Amino acid sequence: MSAIIIDGSAIAKQVLAEQKILAGRLTAGGHTPGLAVLLVGDDPASAIYVRSKERACREAGVLTFDTRLSADTSENELLKRVDAMNSDPRVHGILVQLPLPRHINAVKVLQRIAVEKDVDGFNWRNLGALLDGHPALAPCTPSGSMILLERAGVPIAGRHAVVLGRSSIVGKPAALMLLERNATVTVCHSRTADLAAMTRQADILLSAIGRPRMITADMIKPGAAVIDIGINRLPDGKLCGDVDFDVVRQKAGWITPVPGGVGPMTVAMVIANVISAAGSTAT
C-alpha cells in the first residue's frame, strides 16, 4: 500500500485563488485588505518566512506594510510599532515574526496586537473563542492542517485523532479543531509514557514536535492519515518533518510531505485571516 500524498502546495494555491476573489470584492468596495509584518533582527529563516507571506499577499491582492527593525530594538519601541499598526485603518492584520530577540517578551508583544487584527490567532481572546467553538481568527498552522484533511477527503468524525505536541500555537489548537469536528482526540507530549502505543491507535496522526523523522513506520496504524507539521533542518541543510516520510508512506493511507505540506497552508491561512479581518471591518 502506498499513501495518497496530500499536496499542500496545490491546495494552498486553490485556497489563495479563492481568497483572491474575496479580496477583489473588498477592493472594489474600497476596502483593500492590508497586512503589516514586523520583523526584528536578521534571522535568515524568519526572513524567508516573511518573504513567502508577502509573496502570497501580492498573489491574493493583499497590501503589505513592512517594518524591519534591528536586533537591538527595545521592547518599548516594538510595542509602539504594534500600537501604530493597531490604529492604522489600512492595516487589517498584524504579524510579528517569531522568534523575537531574547530581550523582548514575545507574549507581551503578541498580546498587544488588537484582537481583531490578530491574524496569527495567538491572542488569548481568539484562543478562548476557539476553545468555545466560535473562532474568529484561528491559528493558521492547525487550521491549514484541517483544510488539508478536509480537501483530501479524510473522514474525521468518530475517528481517533492523536496529536503530538501541546504548544499553544499548534498542538492544543489542533486538538480543539479536531474535537470540534467530532474526532476523539488524544494529545501526547514529551512526558507521554509510551508514544508508539498511542500513535498506533491513530486513524489521524498530527505531529508537531520538531524531532526529525522520529515517527517511524512501526508507529503507524495501516491506512492512517498522517499530517506532518514539524519542520526540521538536517545537518546537510535540507528540511524534513517529524515523520520518516519514505517508510511511513508505505503504510499510511494519506500523508503530507515536508516541504510542500502544511507549510504552504500556514501561509495561505494567514492570508485568509487577513481577508476575513478586512471583511469584518467592511461590513
Residues in contact with ligand NDP by CB under 6 A are: 141, 164-167, 169-171, 188-192, 195, 208-211, 229-232, 262-263, 266
Q: Which amino acid is at 88?
A: D
Q: 73 or 266, CB closer to ligand NDP?
A: 266
How many residues are there in the chain? 283
Q: 26 or 170, CB closer to ligand NDP?
A: 170
Contact 227, 261 (CB under 8 A): yes
Q: Shortest Cβ distance from residue 64 to ligand NDP (Å)?
A: 19
Contact 123, 96 (CB under 8 A): no
Strands annotated E in 47-122: 63-69, 93-96
Q: 131 or 195, CB closer to ligand NDP?
A: 195
DSSP state of 115: G
Q: 262 or 277, CB closer to ligand NDP?
A: 262
Contact 112, 82 (CB under 8 A): yes
Q: Shortest Cβ distance from residue 241 to ligand NDP (Å)?
A: 8
Q: Shortest Cβ distance from residue 57 to ligand NDP (Å)?
A: 16
- Selected catalytic residue, list 117, 118, 120, 251: 120
**CA distance linking residue 193 with residue 102, whole number of Å:** 32
Q: Has 117 been annotated as catalytic?
A: no
Q: Shortest Cβ distance from residue 195 to ligand NDP (Å)?
A: 5
Q: Has 53 been annotated as catalytic?
A: yes
Give me 155's grid cell: 473522514
Q: Has 250 been annotated as catalytic?
A: no
**CA distance linking residue 74 with residue 101, whole number of Å:** 10
Query: Which residue numbers are catalytic?
Result: 53, 97, 120
